[in-house]
Amino acid sequence: MAEASVSLNKVSVQYGTNAALRDVSVEFPKGAVGLLGPNGAGKSTMLKALLGFVPPRAGRLEVLGLNVAERPLEVRAKLGYMPENDGHIPGMNAVTFVAYCGQLAGLPKADAMQRAHEVLYYVGLGEARYRNVEEYSTGMKQRIKLAQALVHDPELLFLDEPTNGMDPKGRDEMLELIRDLAHNKGVDLILSSHLLPDVEFTCDYVVVLDKGAIATAGSIDQLKGPTGRVFEVRVKGDKDRFIAALSGAGLECHETDEDVMRVFVPGPAGAPGDDQRRICDQAARVGVQVRHLRTSVPTLEDVFARAIGEQ
Amino acid sequence: MSPIHDQSYRHYEGERRPLGRAWTVIAATGMRSLLARKWFLAVLLLAWIMFIVRTVHIYVVTMYPTANQMLPIDARMFMQFVEQQSMFVFFVTVFCGAGLIANDRRANALQIYLSKPLLRMEYIGGKLAILVSFLLFVTLVPALLLLMLQVMFAGNLDFIKANLYVIPAIVLACLMRVTVASCAMLALSSLSKSTRYVAILYTGIIFFTEAMFGVLAVVTGSTRVAWVSISANLENITDVLFRQPHRYDAPVTVSILVLLGLLAVSISVLERRVRGVEIVS
């Protein structure tokens, strides 16, 4: 793996009696890394622990080679953090707010103001930069959170659910910005999200968290790699029996939002048509009709579903 | 061909301030923001009315020494001035202090502040500096200016020489009032997201302890219970600083301990409440 921007070594974080992270050891390489997991998996806790907001009960956290417990200020000077919740300094317009954040991060006043104008244009708030932040729409608030995280030109960005509450157009624009930052502007970032398409679009590497533990980690291409084939299947009949039959035959199956199931056939490929025959045999065995059967491309969703064991 | 300004993202290559000075940014920005409000400027100006009255007093007594018998210029006069300013300490504390942390909590700003390279102590220090500066502006600054005016009008240092203890007494009495008010208000401000609620809470605490002292004094027929009132504790210690007869029977050491306890509680509250993440058990 390439040089790590962030590393956790046997890190445990506890909120009262609830374990938010359990003995987590993982390295985030430089570049764009997705931190995936269902709600409550511990993604935000991990970012907050890396920022020094939440002290770990055990373990060691390092950001850009610096120990978070020993050098929190130096760590935060190199970081930009876009929080999940709305956050702003009351009573300020956008450009004053972003410039103020720049000054807090150590930029001289004049430079902070110049950078504030620049990053506000970059995130698409150039025309709205003299409006009070409290009057902003949800999408604009997401953009200004990105602007305040970028103003001091951090080496590493933490983005916590950056597309939350955005309309489809705004979401696409935000993802384009994140992709541009990571792939064209040389800013390393960790994108925490429960939205698989967001991570798939912007990141090259993914860490999947579930119930406070690492479920899987690796480059997206590698995780989606050809260790099996994926088929889209739609059936008429007792779906649950069909899924049970597939599982019994060693095939993984998970349902999507539509009525199409995604069936993963592990292992090396056999003769053409063998996989389809195996699926149809199971359907015939439990008496369901196969209405649709098509080869598909493995997506991050498959990786995610396999990693956290959803059926 | 003229260069076209790149409005895309650019890396910053300029200088950066050393770590540990972010509190000055917080303090300066907070002060500018308050001074931009006309009503706050009005409160600050009103707080100097007593200074003008006392200046006239000192001038008249210096020009017409016979007036000194009726309106003497002595340590007691300076003590009275510091105590009269307590009313403005209250107003400035409520108007300026109630929202210092409460507004940040309402807007989820703490996570923004603390994700920057600054310690929680720096954040609290910056906020405290705003309140302390304005409170010193309405207490210590006019009190010391009055002393200087006395010297200027008299044209000699006789009063200072005869009452050398007045200078440290003014400084300590003002610092004590400012520190107690600032820390208590900042702690209360960290407890809520509502500025109005914080202002009411602070006012309630000041008046409730005063009323409780009044009731207990009537019931017990003694002022030994003055320690229950924050204001009475301040007055009790001020009497000692200005070498004046004690107004209350409560021991000064008890008053000092009560105020130190109040400061300790305030610091403890701030330590618990000012965090980048709120943990709800």
Chain mean pLDDT for chain B: 93
Between residues 115 and 134 of chain B, which touch chain A (CB distance below 8 Å)? 115-119
Q: CA A76, A79, A85 angle in degrees (round to 5)?
A: 95
B221 part of contact set with chain A, CB < 8 Å: no
Residue B1 is predicted with a pLDDT of 46
- What is the DSSP-derived secondary structure letter of residue A132? B
0.85 surpassed by complex ipTM: yes
Cβ contact (<8 Å) for A87 and B108? yes
Tokens 């359907």 found at: A283
Q: CA B235, B238, B244 angle in degrees (round to 5)?
A: 105
pLDDT at B3 over 70: no
Phi and psi at residue A5, in whole multiples of 5°?
-90, -30
Nearest by CB: B107 against A15, A53, A88: A88
Residue A189 to residue B102: CA distance in whole angstroms: 32
B contacts of A52 (beta carbons < 8 Å): 276
What confidence tier does B4 reach under pLDDT thresholds 50, 70, 90? low
Residue B234 is predicted with a pLDDT of 96
Nearest by CB: B7 against A53, A122, A181: A122
What confidence tier does B63 reach under pLDDT thresholds 50, 70, 90? confident
CA dihedral sign of residues A263, A266, A268, A273: negative
Residue A255 to residue A234: CA distance in whole angstroms: 10
**pTM of the predicted model, to two decimals?**
0.85
Write the pLDDT tens digit of every residue in A9-37. 999 999 888 899 999 999 999 999 999 98
Residue B167 to residue B242: CA distance in whole angstroms: 10
Write the pLDDT tens digit of every residue in B139-195. 999 999 999 999 999 988 999 999 999 999 999 999 999 999 999 999 999 999 999
A170-180 average pLDDT score: 95
Write the pLDDT tens digit of every residue in A121-154. 999 998 999 999 999 999 999 999 999 999 999 9
Q: CA A268, A272, A278 angle in degrees (round to 5)?
A: 75
Nearest-Cα residue of chain A relative to residue B108: A87
To the nearest whole Å, the CA of B255 is away from the closest chain A CA by 38
Cβ contact (<8 Å) for A53 and B8? no
Residue B102 is predicted with a pLDDT of 97
SS3 call for A33: strand
pLDDT at A296 over 90: no
pLDDT at B280 over 60: no
A234-245 average pLDDT score: 89
A contacts of B103 (beta carbons < 8 Å): 90-91
A65-94 average pLDDT score: 93
SS3 call for B125: helix
CB atoms within 10 A of CB B168: 10
Residue B214 is predicted with a pLDDT of 94
Contact between B189 and B123 (Cβ < 8 Å): no
pLDDT at A73 over 60: yes
Residue B108 is predicted with a pLDDT of 92
Residue A51 to residue A58: CA distance in whole angstroms: 16
A contacts of B19 (beta carbons < 8 Å): 73-74, 77, 106
Nearest by CB: A51 against B12, B25, B115: B115
Write the pLDDT tens digit of every residue in B246-276. 999 999 999 999 999 999 999 999 999 998 7
CB atoms within 10 A of CB B245: 6
Q: Where is mean pLDDT largest: A143-152, A160-169, A187-196, A233-242? A: A143-152
pLDDT at A311 over 50: no
Q: CA B19, B127, A111 angle in degrees (round to 5)?
A: 45
Cβ contact (<8 Å) for A107 and B17? yes
Strands laid side by side in the A156-160 sheet: A79-82, A156-160, A188-193, A32-36, A205-210, A213-219
pLDDT at A181 over 50: yes
To the nearest whole Å, the CA of B261 is away from the closest chain A CA by 28
B interface test, pick of A43, A104, A119, A125 with most B CB neighbours within 10 Å:
A104
